[in-house]
Amino acid sequence: AQSVTQPDIHITVSEGASLELRCNYSYGATPYLFWYVQSPGQGLQLLLKYFSGDTLVQGIKGFEAEFKRSQSSFNLRKPSVHWSDAAEYFCAVGSSGGSYIPTFGRGTSLIVHP
């Protein structure tokens, strides 16, 4: 069965600092990988996704993520964090064949200090 681990429950950064949120997945074949963001009072929104090809993917709001098969990781990065980035971030893995049902990690809460 597929699974996702987000080892950091909370991450605190200063505005303008760089950010990296960790995600490790478990899946036997080539995974589909996603990062979603959940802001207070809003539904989850897709930031970026990886299906195949270039292992460095660009997303919305200046985010990027790198797929590393050897490490079973898909870490999310941003070079300079803005106060509006404070939210809950979820990594998800989906199967690459048949019905697609993403499995989510428990999330990482990002706190941004001014």
Using the minimum distance from each CB to other proteins, give the nearer residue, 15 or 49: 49
Q: How far is CA 34 from CA 16, 17, 65, in A?
A: 24, 23, 9
The binder of other proteins chosen from 20, 51, 60, 82 (CB under 8 A)? 51
| Per CB under 8 A, 22 contacts other proteins | no
Does 94 bind other proteins (CB under 8 A)? Our answer is: yes
* Residues 19 and 25 sit within 8 Å (Cβ to Cβ): no
By CB under 8 A, tell whether 101 contacts other proteins. Answer: yes
Asked if 100 touches other proteins (CB under 8 A), the answer is yes
Among 28, 41, 53, 114, binds other proteins (CB under 8 A): 41
Does the protein bind other proteins through residue 31 (CB under 8 A)? Answer: no
